[in-house]
A and B are shown apart, each in its own frame.
Chain A
């Protein structure tokens, strides 16, 4: 995991240098999602579709390992929704479904973080 993390972070920094404005990590993730969606939407690439469900969900979980904020996570969900819309338009319901599952997972994570935070708040008060 350490090597993957380092590779990811170094790539992110390079993108940050190029764009200088936005979070490199997030942009890199979006790029990966976009490529995966395009691949999954291509005909005869069912393998990508089969594994993508797991991969997307793993990526969402992995976001925490890279310390991406809740807000960035939610922006990812927005991108997922746009990609899902494109997939529906292209007639690939399965890809849209996989992206929808990831959106659900993100909302669930946001909820869990918020509830834990809320309980801590109550405890403090």
Chain B
């Protein structure tokens, strides 16, 4: 024992352990870390068990959980500690200490392997301390990113194992064994994105040794290096196959859709450039550049480091030390230095910084090229976070080594050396002082991940956890409409909803990706429509409502002040009863005549195309408790479907739709004007570009872009007012080129199909409309006046021609649609979202038709639906032009009739600013506690910016259920003594009419589907056995489990039905018998089955099978690698 204590390395490790106790400072007074992306849960053990399965039933109707498989290991420490201590807070304390210590120890082992001697104590201590205490890691601590910590621990040890094996200081088999073991325990949470840093370190090390070893031993050594690389990677993949296999499955099925959801390649590059905006080399060399520091005005500590001269100076010491180290080493010609190691670390540093900087100049183009051309690279879309460790680790080592070298070179006195070394360690701790207060958890005041959980939350959660497993709870009030986050008045904020962190039941809420049926339920509550709510709740399997008084919106608006009418509404529902009240939470039970089950055979099957934009309205208004609305089905299924909904696509129906198209027109950048000697280059470029454009649509749009460029060029020429004799000639030529561009675009549009042609002509019209406004502002040059007048007339004539041709909605009560009828037949019209309004006249291809039974031919048709004029919401409807002259500090108020919460309303008018200062506009709804809630977000000076010309203003607003007085106000916000003089016309405030229009073809086969009864049992969250009794026709088996293409149905043979052993199921499953699911009722799965009689159907979530296979591989690999290590390579 004495020997151990006398051993300095023991003391060094004790020191590391002591500084690892820092998290104890964060957990006083009952605080815990919860919310945001922290991933901690009240029932940690229950959650950890759920990670074994690839499907988690908690988020809404369930979600794929394959991507979290790696957390089985990464979240094991917190599960162990929480379970042993029986407390989340104690478990978190121990977990945090564990990660602190593991990070420090990892760096310590790395350094100690190369610098064992006593004299290197400072290098070991400083590098380990610095590796724990740095801002890259601190920004991860506010949500305790265990995945990041995991890779942070792994990298030094991974580099060590690679180095020792490649330089043959360790046997190959020993290297493989420890390498795979390392990545089994520190697997980056099974998140492939965090493995980016690993790949950088791995490949740089392999390439480095390939060069060095080749020089040492020729081709034989080169082969050895590649052998090490391949075997190490194989070991890593095999031991982690349990999480890699299901992720490969997901990648094959979901990569394209995930990429599209991220905005495609261009969206990812855009996001990436935002993340790496401040990741310049100079910032990274100062170990800064963390995106949060610069993007947030209320960051808890960044301003000090960005503005204080002392802290700025301190951060510059890091690169100065590195350069100082290089000066010394180069000066000493690398004598007494481990050149092979230092050059490798320098190489890691130089490559790591490029990846950490992402798309930031000057080398950001490399990263952008990787995203564009390397498959799957877009998963590393946040370069700084994903590759930061690959720079931080080698750089921290070099700084530590630099300080050590400087000290040993210039400080010869031992006591002084010790003093300076100790001071530097203290200085690095002091520089990172935010570690020692817990302010960094408050990421956006007042929201923090360090919170105290009220007792009623834990009591109610315990109660819910003891309810039956079929419990499915709808959250009220609805979530914050901006972020769809769960926010409470005790500073909790999370996209992962609180009840999902505290309970193990299915929690349904209007999150950003919620299926339409959830919106339908919330809408029914808003409208007080109990029938619709109950029907949708039954279809979706919701059987409880959890009301929370502590929920608030992001603006700090209290739910109980503004949203309590939601609870008042549900209290008025006869089918709800209060089950339990605990503090601010109340649990209501929905009483059904017959409870809904996880599986059922619907009697009424309807089908709909995937892109039908009215699907939410159809499920809300036209569904029944025993119906299934199937999306995107195969033609064969049409035989058993009752109705097929075909949506009519409204052309420019949304408010401001035409203005949005104009807003998409980008102004051209003029580098050369037509009178330039180099203008031929512009023409050549345009000619080549048009030549290369293949589709008619793209070519027509390119022509219009060039036509716009011509107009801007003419404008610039006229402003230049050159007296050159060629000047007018250039204007005339440009006008003729403009006309040619427009004519070409229109000619190309005529080559398209009806609907596409119409869409393109609308765009051409928008260009002409915009160009016409620019010609209005042309400076008149006496010589070119006639030509300009002629141009204006030409544009107006073209617009008039197009207006007659284009099929688009111009009037709010006269809607124009296109409808694609797939086959000739009798069709009826189905309207949704109409309220009390009914259409007065309906025309198809110009002929008046009825709502019911119309014989329609296959093909594209024009549909027109005319409604009676809508009621004006102005108490005194305005006619003609209204002139206003508002004195400074006063307002002009137009009183409105009450705006109902059941509808949206459009406020629209044309305006022309005359003189003074532009006014602001708002709709005032005097809510209970908060006046002017619906203030329109127009800032002073923006509203009437186009002086002297008529502009259009449109805005959509909802009614506030708590308000009694409503008005439209024009006012001047700031007192500066000036009046506001402006004119408006066509003022209208009316209900927004957005009906859904579908054509329905009724199949006479409907209603003949029969299967007497079904029963089912759940084997685990990913496996069900459904017993079908006496099916006499082909049928559809529907579920209330969330839709995912991975849910497969297998009709089992009698022998298979008896076998419940999962291993034999994996092996014996006949893949050919699988049935793919159809998305049903906007959220669930259905399978089409045509086997008659009685039998069992296995419903299985397929990624779980891959997880089992991967798990078996990992189980087999581990003893195999251990055996090879023992037999072949103990060196």
Binding site for B on A (CB under 8 A): 53, 70-71, 74-75, 77-78, 81-82, 84-85, 88-89, 93, 96-97, 99-101, 103-104, 106-108, 110-111, 114-115, 118-119, 122-123
Contact = CB atoms under 8 A, between A and B. Distances in A.
A103 B324 CA distance: 12
Contact of A100 (B216, B282, B326, B339): B282
B330 A74 contact: yes
A88 B312 CA distance: 8
Residue in A71, A85, A96 with the greatest tally of chain B CB atoms within 10 Å: A85
A118 B208 CA distance: 12
22 contacts: A53-B362, A71-B330, A74-B330, A75-B327, A81-B320, A84-B282, A85-B313, A88-B282, A88-B312, A89-B309, A96-B280, A100-B281, A100-B319, A101-B281, A101-B362, A103-B319, A107-B326, A107-B350, A114-B330, A114-B334, A115-B211, A123-B215
B212 A119 contact: yes
B316 interface: yes
Interface stretch (B340-348, B651-659, B790-798): B340-348
B468 interface: no
A92 to B, nearest CB: 12
A100 B287 CA distance: 13
Given A75-B327, A78-B324, A103 B281 contact: yes
Interface of B: 211-212, 215-216, 280-283, 285, 309, 312-313, 316, 319-320, 322-324, 326-327, 330-331, 334, 339-340, 343, 346-347, 350, 353, 361-362
B578 to A, nearest CB: 59
B281 A71 contact: no
Given A89-B312, A101-B362, 7 more contacts: A74-B323, A78-B327, A93-B280, A96-B282, A100-B281, A103-B323, A111-B350
Contacts of A96: 280, 282
A50 B319 CA distance: 24
A61 B281 CA distance: 18
A70 B326 CA distance: 10
Q: Which 3 A-B pairs have the closest CB atoms?
A: A100-B282, A100-B281, A97-B280
A100 to B, nearest CB: 2
A122 B215 contact: yes
B672 to A, nearest CB: 20
Contacts of A107: 322-323, 326, 346, 350
A115 B334 CA distance: 12
A104 B285 CA distance: 9
Contacts of B211: 115, 119
Contacts of B353: 104
A48 to B, nearest CB: 17
B1055 to A, nearest CB: 66
Nearest to B347: A111
Contacts of B281: 97, 100-101, 103-104
A120 to B, nearest CB: 9
Contacts of B216: 122
B343 A81 contact: no
Nearest to B322: A107
B1052 to A, nearest CB: 63
A66 B216 CA distance: 34
B330 A110 contact: yes
B313 A81 contact: no
Nearest to B331: A71
Contacts of B282: 84, 88, 96-97, 99-101, 103
B350 A108 contact: yes
Contacts of A53: 362
B340 A81 contact: no
Residue in B285, B323, B334, B353 with the greatest tally of chain A CB atoms within 10 Å: B323
Contact of B320 (A78, A89, A93): A78
Contacts of A99: 282
Given A103-B285, A103-B319, A110 B326 contact: yes
A93 B346 CA distance: 26
A71 B323 CA distance: 10
Contacts of A122: 212, 215-216
A111 B346 contact: yes
Given A81-B319, A99-B282, A122-B215, A111 B343 contact: yes
A104 B340 CA distance: 21
A54 to B, nearest CB: 10
A97 B279 CA distance: 10
A74 B326 contact: yes
B333 to A, nearest CB: 9
B231 to A, nearest CB: 25
Nearest to A117: B334
A96 B281 CA distance: 10
A77 B283 contact: no
Nearest to A104: B281
Contacts of B324: 78
Contacts of A85: 312-313, 316
Contacts of A119: 211-212, 215
Nearest to A122: B215
A111 B281 CA distance: 17
Residue in A53, A104, A123 with the greatest tally of chain B CB atoms within 10 Å: A104
B794 to A, nearest CB: 42
Nearest to A121: B339
A33 to B, nearest CB: 15
Contact of B285 (A70, A100, A123): A100
A118 B342 CA distance: 11
Contacts of A70: 330
Contacts of A108: 350
Contacts of B339: 114, 118
A81 B323 contact: yes
Given A81-B320, A103-B285, A119-B215, A71 B346 contact: no
Contacts of B347: 111, 115
Contact of B343 (A88, A97, A114, A123): A114
Residue in B313, B327, B340 with the greatest tally of chain A CB atoms within 10 Å: B327
Nearest to B344: A115
Contacts of B320: 78, 81
Contact of A118 (B316, B319, B343): B343
